[in-house]
Structure 1
Amino acid sequence: MTAAAPSATDVLIVGAGIAGASLAAALAPHRRVMLIEAEDMPGYHATGRSAAFWHESYGGAQVQPLSAASFAMLSDPPAEFSSRGFLFPRTALTIGRHEEAVAVDAFCTEFAAKGVDVTRMARAEIARLIPGVRPDWSEAAYEPACSDIDVGRLHAAYLRAAKRGGAVLVTRAPLKGARRVGDGWEVVAGGETIRASLIVNAAGAWADGVAAVCGAAPLGIQPYRRTVLQLRLGVPVPAELPLVVHVGGQFYFKGASEGRIWLTPHDETPSDPCDAAPEEMDVALAIDRLQAVVDWPIAAVERKWAGLRSFAPDRAPVFGLDPLVPGFVWCAGQGGFGIQTAPAIAALLAAELGAPTPKGAIGEVDTAPYAPLRFG
C-alpha cells in the first residue's frame, strides 16, 4: 500500500482564533494558506470569551496605533467582507478617586497627544453618566468614540473570507511536531503530515509551546486568567451605560442590557495554557470592587466565565519573522486587545508574507515596535 502524499501549503497558520483567522483572510488571496486548530471549533479560548470593545486607549500608548488604524475596517468594512460594520457605539469613562486626579490628568495628556478624542470630565457629568456612583469617584476622562465589537460575527467573517480566498481550515489538529526540510517545514498535526514554506505561530496562550516544537526560542508569552461576570441589578441601570474603567486597573464594567452589566476585577492571574474557569475568590473580588464604586444592589450573578489573555514581556503584540529560525513567524501576545487590533496586525503581517502593502492608516503604522527582533 502506498502512503498518502503529505498535504502541502505555502503558509501554515497554527491557531484559528481572531489572530489566525484575520491573517488567513488577508493572506489567502495571495498565497496558499492552511489553518490548523487544536480544538473542535475555532475561537474556543480567548476569542470566544472576549467582552470585546474598541477602546482606543485600551492596552496603552504602544497599542494605540494598531487600534486606531483598525477602526475604519471595523466600522465600515468592504462590502464583500460584510454588509454592515462590527461596531456598536458606546462611550468610555476612565475614572478615579480624588487622590487619583494626577493619574487621570496624565492619562488625558498622554492620549490627547496621540490624537485620541479624550477630555477631562467634571464630577456632575460623572454622576449623570453613572447613576448611583459614590461621591469619592470625582475624576474622569471621557472618550466618546468607544464601541462594542460583535466578536462572533467578526471572527466568522474572517473565516468566511479566508475560505473564499482558498484557505483550508483543519480542526482537531494540535501541532505535534515540526522540522525543517530543505527550505520549508514538515509538520505533524492531527494525524497528518503537512509540508509548508512558512509556519505562523498564532496559538495564543500556547504560543511559546508552539515555538518550542518548531525549535524557536520562546519569547516569554505569558497567559493570564481574566474573570468576567454578568450581573442582574436591583436598579434599572441603562444598557447604554458607558464602559467604565478604573485608571489604576482595578476593574471595568459596562452595560449589557437594561438592568444588567458585564464586570471584571481586571484580574491577571498567571496561568498555564488551559481551558480557563472562574474562581469564586475572583468573583467575590469583582463584586466587592463594584460596590465600592456604585450603590447598586445585586440581584443575581447570572453568568461567570474566564479566559486567557497572553502578553509578551513588554506587553506589546509580537508579529513578524523570527530573527533566528528561517520560515517561522510570530503572531502572538495580543493580550486583551487582539480583537480591536486584528485588522491592522493581519494586514501588516500579511504584507510581510507576500500580500500587497496596506493603504491608508494601516499602511502608516510603524511595525518595528512589534517585531520579534526587539527581544534580541
Structure 2
Amino acid sequence: MSRFDIVIIGGGIAGASLGAELAADASVLILEREDSAGYHATGRSVAFWEETYGGRAVQPLTTASGPLLRSPEPDFCSRSFLSPRRTLHIGRAGDEEARDRLVEEFAGRVELRPVDPVTFLPGLRPQWTLGLLEPAVCDIDVAALHHAYLRQFRVRGGKLWLGASLDSASSDSAGWRIQSSEGVIECGIIVNAAGAWADDVALRSGVAPIGITPLRRTVVQLRVPTMPGPDLPLVMDLRSRFYFKPEGEGRIWLTPHDEEPSTPCDAAPEELAVAEAIARFQNVVDWPIEAVERKWAGLRSFAPDRAPVFGFDARASRFFWFAGQGGFGIQTAPAAALLGAALLTGNAASEAVAGVDAAAYSPARFG
C-alpha cells in the first residue's frame, strides 16, 4: 500500500501544473491512465495566449498567466513560452453586432483595434470587410510548458505513475482509500484533474458529478504554398465559425470551431468536420490548398456555465475539483495552478493572482 498527502488524477497540463505548485510542501502523486502524460487535450492543443478567447469568465486567468508565460522564473524555464502572433478577428456585412459585442465585452481590459483586414491578410476575399486586431496575442510552446511543469514536479519530489488509473475510491474521516490499477493508495485529498473524464472520476469516488461535458474539436493541417508568410496573424471569425493560424512556412492549422458532444474517448476527426473546415477556409482566402497533411481531434471539457471549476466539493470536503478548463487550459495554466494551490492548501494566493476572484470558479456555484 502507498500513502500520499495528495493524489492528482490526470497528468495533462492541469494536473502537471497544480502538482508542481503543491509538491514542494506535500507528498503528491499524479495518476495518469495513459502511457504518456498529456496524451489527450494537452497534446492536441493549437494553443495560443489570447485574452478574449474564452470570454470574460476566462480572461482574468489568461491575463494573469501572461507575465508568467512570457518571463518564467529561471529555475522553471530559461526562456519564454510565448512568441508574438496577433489575432485578426474578421467578419462580413451583418457581423457588426458580433464585432461591437466583442469590443464592449473587453473594453478597458484588452486592446482591440479596428483595422482594414486585407492589410493584414493578403488574399482575403472581398466580402470580409470587418476587422479587429488584437495585437498582444502570442503562440504558446505547449510541449515546453508541459514538460517544464512535469520536471518541476519531479524535482520537488512528486511522483508520476503512467498507465495507472483510479478504479474506485472511498472516503472516511482520515481521507481516501483508492483502488487503482497499480494497487491500493491512501491519501488525504483527491484532486480531480481528469479533463474529459472528470465526471467519471467523481462517480468512481462516490461524488456527485457536476456535468463536465466533453466537446470534440477538429483540426487539420493544410499545405498552402502560396500563403504570404509564416508571420501572419491568427485569423478568427467574429461569429466563431472557424479560426486558422500559420504553422511554419506554407502550412496552416485550421478548425471549423466545432463543439460536438462526445463521450470521454481517444477523439478522432470526423470527415464531415474536416470538409466543413476546408470549405470555410476557401470562402475566406484565395490561397490554393495543395494537400491535407494531418487531421486530428481533441476533447475540450466544459462545466454547464463554461467557466473552470476550482475548489473542494461542497459535499465531499477532501475531493478537490480542478476541471472544466474547456479549450483554455494551456493559456490559463500558470494562474490556475497558483489559484488552485492556494484554495487547496488554505495559504494566501500568490500576488500574481491576487486580482482573480476565486469564488467565480467554485464548485459551490452548482449547488
Give the Å deviation of 1:207: 0.2
Secondary structure in 1 matching 2:345? coil
Secondary structure in 2 matching 1:107? helix
- Of 67, 81, 87, the residue aligned with 2:82 is 87
Paired residues of 1:27 and 1:355 also in contact (CA < 8 A) = no
Within the alignment, does 1:59 sit opposite 2:50 as a pair?
no
Gaps of 5+ in 1: 1-5
Give the distance between the partners of 1:112 and 1:158, measured in 2 at CA: 33
- Of 220, 226, 234, the residue aligned with 2:217 is 226
Give the distance between the partners of 1:355 and 1:35, measured in 2 at CA: 21
Identity %: 55
| Letter of the structure 2 residue corresponding to residue 49 of structure 1 | R
Give the Å deviation of 1:363: 2.0
- After superposition, the Cα gap between the structure-2 partners of 1:355 and 1:152, relative to the gap in structure 1 and judged at 3 Å, is farther
Give the distance between the partners of 2:82 and 2:44, measured in 1 at CA: 17
Within the alignment, does 1:116 sit opposite 2:110 as a pair?
yes
| Letter of the structure 2 residue corresponding to residue 203 of structure 1 | A
Q: Normalized against structure 2, the TM-score is what?
A: 0.98
1:1-376 equivalences in 2 (<5 Å): 6-113=1-108, 115-121=109-115, 123=116, 126-354=117-345, 356-376=347-367
Gaps of 5+ in 2: none
Paired residues of 1:105 and 1:120 also in contact (CA < 8 A) = no
Q: Deviations over 1:257-286 (max 9, x none)?
A: 122111000011100000001111111000
Give the Å deviation of 1:96: 0.9
Q: Normalized against structure 1, the TM-score is what?
A: 0.96
Give the distance between the partners of 1:103 and 1:46, measured in 2 at CA: 28
Give the distance between the partners of 2:234 and 2:178, measured in 1 at CA: 44
Secondary structure in 2 matching 1:254? strand
Secondary structure in 2 matching 1:272? coil
Secondary structure in 2 matching 1:369? helix
Paired residues of 1:30 and 1:354 also in contact (CA < 8 A) = no
Secondary structure in 1 matching 2:128? coil
Give the Å deviation of 1:117: 1.6
Paired residues of 2:194 and 2:323 also in contact (CA < 8 A) = yes
Match of 1:3 in 2: none
Give the distance between the partners of 2:94 and 2:103, measured in 1 at CA: 16
Give the Å deviation of 1:327: 0.4
Give the distance between the partners of 1:198 and 1:359, measured in 2 at CA: 22
Give the distance between the partners of 2:227 and 2:4, measured in 1 at CA: 54
Give the distance between the partners of 1:267 and 1:220, measured in 2 at CA: 20
Paired residues of 1:357 and 1:363 also in contact (CA < 8 A) = no
Paired residues of 2:339 and 2:350 also in contact (CA < 8 A) = no
Paired residues of 2:212 and 2:324 also in contact (CA < 8 A) = yes
Secondary structure in 2 matching 1:104? helix
Paired residues of 2:227 and 2:287 also in contact (CA < 8 A) = no
Paired residues of 2:223 and 2:290 also in contact (CA < 8 A) = yes
Paired residues of 1:320 and 1:352 also in contact (CA < 8 A) = yes
Q: Deviations over 1:37-58 (max 9, x none)?
A: 0000100000000000001100
Give the distance between the partners of 1:330 and 1:303, measured in 2 at CA: 34
